[in-house]
Amino acid sequence: MKYDKKMFNRIHRVQGQLNGVLKMMEEGKDCKEVITQLSASKSSLQRLMGVIISENLVRCIKESADNEDISEEIINEAVELLVKSK
């Protein structure tokens, strides 16, 4: 799978969020603020995982459609990835 620049940018953004969380923890910030930032980071990662999984599923289906064989195995694999991303 080819990962585009937007995906890398999302990862860099999450890294920044997590670095901010570390700083907040070092400064002894309120746990509500820390959890809010951690939750935002988690949501960002989940959205990225969804994008990667959906693009992979589309690619697999297109490749299978070219062969006129959309296998249940491919669909099950995609569903498993979606479940893991939650």
27: domain CATH number is: 1.20.58.1000
Weakest mean pLDDT among 2-6, 33-37, 82-86: 82-86
pLDDT at position 11: 94
pLDDT at position 86: 65
* Burial (CB count <10 Å: 0-12, 13-18, 19+), residue 8: exposed
Please, are residues 48 and 7 in contact by the beta-carbon 8 Å criterion?
yes
Find the domain containing 42 and state its range.
5-85
- The pLDDT tens digits of the residues spanning 6-52 come to 999 999 999 999 999 999 999 999 999 999 999 999 999 988 988 88
pLDDT for residue 67 is more than 80: no
Give just the sign of the alpha carbon dihedral 72, 77, 83, 85: negative
Integer Cα distance of 59 and 70 in angstroms: 11
CA distances from 32 to 26, 53, 68 (A): 15, 31, 52
The pTM score is 0.71
Residue 3 Ramachandran class (φ > 0 left, ψ -120 to 50 alpha, else beta): beta
Domain count, the chain: 1
